[in-house]
């Protein structure tokens, strides 16, 4: 899926201080909610990945001025087209049976079934198209094998798995945005003599919008 080009925020806005520049209009809570709704509409149209959705949710809630808020959705259409008719897509199934399997950017709209039996399964969901409702359910089964899920920063993880001589490890960092406007990844299933591991791509990774917000406030 072709992703919209991210705006060059550094070129457009330049370096500014923590305080709003003179003449800047502060954004209201209602205006932030309007931007969140635009992001939801763009997600339903397939314009944003799971990573981009999490980043922009956080940026919208942290934006102080109208200019900052407008930048979050500058590359999105102002009016959403009518929703497309529902398709016949089904839950995506990935199995690592007596071997290893790696998959990148799978579709998430119908959820995922991830099974590792005497093998390791690695799924990178960062660049996956965000589901229409912003959330995804993953059924993970690690049976004498490991299931590794790479998730973008900014998502909220709900881990509800059982284990029998196995391990459940959530290495993700909690999101800083409001829970009500944070993409959620629900993981169910079981680990039997194996591990289910949730992590970010790297421990020191900072997302594009987080870097932008940090620089504007430094």
What DSSP character marks residue 181?
G
Between residues 99 and 84, which one has the greater pLDDT?
A: 99
For residue 139, what are the contacts with CB-CB under 8 A and spacing of at least 6?
111, 112, 113, 114, 188, 189
* Average pLDDT value for the chain: 82
Residue 109 DSSP symbol? T
Instruction: Over range 67-94, report the average pLDDT.
Output: 74
- 14-73 pLDDT tens trace: 333 455 566 678 999 899 989 999 998 999 888 999 988 988 988 888 888 999 899 898
DSSP-derived secondary structure letter, 143: E
Q: Which of 51-55, 81-85, 144-148 has the lowest mean pLDDT?
A: 81-85
For residue range 114-125, what is the model confidence (pLDDT) as tens digits? 999 999 999 999
């Amino acid at each position: 899926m072709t992703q919209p080009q991210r705006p060059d925020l550094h070129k457009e806005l330049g370096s500014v201080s923590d305080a709003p520049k003179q003449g800047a209009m502060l954004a209201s809570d209602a205006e932030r909610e309007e931007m969140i709704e635009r992001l939801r509409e763009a997600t339903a149209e397939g314009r944003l990945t799971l990573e981009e959705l999490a980043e922009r949710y956080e940026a919208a809630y942290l934006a102080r001025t109208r200019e900052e808020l407008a930048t979050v959705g500058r590359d999105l259409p102002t009016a959403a087209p009518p929703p497309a008719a529902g398709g016949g897509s089904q839950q995506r199934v990935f199995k690592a049976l007596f071997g290893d399997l790696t998959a990148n950017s799978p579709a998430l709209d119908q959820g995922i079934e991830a099974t590792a039996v005497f093998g390791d399964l690695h799924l990178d969901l960062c660049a996956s198209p965000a589901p229409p409702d912003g959330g995804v359910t993953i059924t993970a089964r690690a049976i004498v094998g490991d299931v590794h899920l790479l998730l973008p920063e900014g998502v909220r993880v709900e881990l509800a798995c059982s284990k029998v001589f196995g391990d459940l490890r959530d290495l993700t960092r909690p999101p800083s945005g409001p829970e009500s406007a944070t993409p959620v990844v629900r993981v169910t299933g079981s680990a039997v003599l194996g591990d289910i591991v949730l992590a970010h791509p790297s421990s020191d990774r900072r997302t594009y919008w987080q870097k932008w917000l940090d620089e504007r406030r430094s």
